[in-house]
Chains A and B, each alone.
Chain A
Amino acid sequence: MPVDTKRLRGPEESQSPWLFVEQEQQSPPDEREDGRRKGQVDVRPIFARCGLVSQAKGSAYIESGKTKVICSVYGPRETERKDETDMKFGRLVCTFRFAPFSCAKRCGWIQSTQEKDLSMALLGSLHPGLCLHRYPRSQIDVSVLVLENDGSALAHAVTCASLALADAGIEMYDLVLGCSLRQEGSDYLLDPTFAEETQEPATESTENRGGMMVALLPSLNQVSGLLCSGDLEQQPLVEAVAACIEGCQRIYSVAQRCLLTAVKKKNPPPDG
C-alpha cells in the first residue's frame, strides 16, 4: 500500500475536540474576572523584594497581579532649595512616574498632571511615617516608576516606597502600606485591576460609585493618607475605609518578611 511520507498521518482513533473543551461553569454572580469575590477583603498575591537598584541608597520592587512597581530612594543629601522649615526637618521629595509602556495607552516622558497629583498623594501618605526631624537640612528623594499598571498603582507605590525607605535605613515611625478599593453600588472590589478601575458601570445611577486609596501605618494602626474620588454615601464610605485598612493589614506580613530577608542578606549579624 502506498504511504504518503510527506504528511503526518492522523491517529487511527480520533475524537472530536469539542469533547475536551471545558464546560462553561456557571460562575457565582459576585465573582470577579480573576476569580476573586466582590465585597471581600481579597488582595492579589504580592511579590516584594528589596535592594535591586545598586546605585540607590535603598530600593524595592513590588508585583501584585500584573501591576509592577519599582522604587528607589536617594539621600539624605544636601537640600537644593532652602527655607526655614528645612532647618529643623528634612525635606521629602516624591516623584511618581508611569513608564511609557506601562499603561494600555502609551504615555509620554513628560510628567503629566495625573502623575503630579499622584506624586503629591504619595508624599502625603509617606510623610507622617518618617522621622524627618532626624534629618535637618537635608533632602530625601523617593522616585517611583510604575512598570506595568494593572490597577491600584498608587496603593502599591506607597507600600513599595516605604519598603525602599526602610531598606535605605531612613528612620521611620512605621511602615506605610497602601490598599485601594473600587466601590460599585453596594459592592466593593478590593485591590481593583485596571479593567475594574476603568470599566463602564452596569447601571446608569452614579450613586455610590468611586475609588479609594488608604495608606496605613500598620503597627500604630493610624491612617496616614486617604484619597477618595466619586460619589459615596456615609455608610459605604465607612465600610470601604474599614475594608482598605484590613487589606493593608493583610499585606503587612509580606512587607515584614521582605524587609527581614533584605536585612539578613545585606548585613551579617553584629558582633558582641
Chain B
Amino acid sequence: MTMTSLQETDVLSSVQPITVHVITIGRLASEACAVNMSPWKVCVPGERLCSTEVCKAGSGTYIRHSFIFASLAGYVVKKNEGEELPVISVARETEAQLLPDVNAIVTCKVTSINSRFAKVHILYVGSTPLKNKFRGTIRKEDVRATEKDKVEIYKCFRPGDIVLAKVISLGDVQSNYLLTTAENELGVVVAHSEAGVQMVPISWCEMQCPRTHAKEFRKVARVQPEYLMP
C-alpha cells in the first residue's frame, strides 16, 4: 500500500511543467496556498490529505489505501473532538448538498392530501435548505404513534401546512421518501385557517384561528424550545 502511495507522489512531483507556457507556477495546491500566506489550506478533489493513522475521515473526504483523500474542493478543517484522533474534513461555506437521509428531521410543506396519505415537498433537511424540491409521502399509519387505525388524514394535515417530519425510508422504486410524524415533537408547526390567518396551537390535535376563533384539527408538533427563534 505504501508502495502505491509512493508512486502516486512520484507522479505528482513529475508534473512540474517543462515546456508549457501557461503554467507559470507549477506547484502543488498545498504549496500554492502557502505562497498566498493563507492560514487555511485549500484542497481540490483527489488531493491526499493524510494517513488514517494521523486523522479520522470526516465529511468531504474518502479513504483509499489507508490514506484520506479530499472529495470536495474546499478548506481543510482539522478538529479535535476529545477522541484519540482529530477529525479531518473538507468544508465549503455553502454546505455540501445534503440529501434527506433515514432518521433525518425534515421540514416539509403539504401539497395534497387524500384519505390514505399526505403528499409533501421536502424543503429543509435539519436547518439546511434544499436547492431542489424532493417529494415525500406521509402515510396514514405514520401520522401518530397511538390509535393508528383511527387516524383521518384530513383531521391531521391540510395542503399548505408546514410540517416537521422524520425520514423513515428512502422508499422503493414506486414510492418517494416515506416520512413519519409519530412523535410528540413532530407534526404541523405552521398552519393557516380558512380565514387565511396563521393559527395558534391549543392542544396536540387542535389549532385555533385568532380572528374567527374557529378550531381546526391538526396533528400539532410540540416544538422544542431550542428550535424556536429568539
Contact = CB atoms under 8 A, between A and B. Distances in A.
Interface stretch (A7-15, A82-90, A144-152, A194-202): A82-90
B94 A267 contact: yes
Given A76-B132, A137-B99, A138-B99, A254 B23 contact: yes
Contacts of B12: 219
A221 B27 CA distance: 18
B21 A45 contact: yes
A217 interface: yes
B131 to A, nearest CB: 7
B33 interface: yes
A121 B172 CA distance: 30
B39 A250 contact: no
Interface of A: 40-43, 45-47, 57, 75-78, 82-84, 86-87, 131, 135-138, 166-167, 169-175, 217-221, 249-250, 252-257, 259-260, 262-264, 266-270
Nearest to B12: A219
B119 interface: no
A131 B39 CA distance: 29
Contacts of A136: 99, 170
A83 B80 CA distance: 42
A257 B27 CA distance: 9
B187 interface: no
Given A136-B170, A173-B46, A219-B48, 19 more contacts: A43-B20, A47-B22, A78-B132, A78-B134, A82-B174, A166-B45, A167-B73, A169-B72, A169-B94, A171-B62, A172-B45, A173-B62, A220-B8, A220-B46, A250-B20, A252-B15, A260-B29, A260-B42, A263-B75
B71 A171 contact: yes
Contacts of B42: 260, 263-264
Contacts of B26: 253
A172 B71 contact: yes
B23 to A, nearest CB: 5
B73 A263 contact: yes
Report the interface size class on chain B.
35 or more
Contact of A76 (B17, B19, B73, B97): B97
B230 to A, nearest CB: 21
Contacts of A255: 44
Contact of A174 (B29, B38, B46, B77): B46
B219 to A, nearest CB: 25
B22 A45 contact: yes
B206 interface: no
Given A175-B46, A249-B14, A257-B32, A40 B19 contact: yes
B40 interface: yes
A52 to B, nearest CB: 16
The 5 closest A-B pairs by CB, nearest first: A174-B46, A267-B93, A77-B132, A45-B22, A172-B45
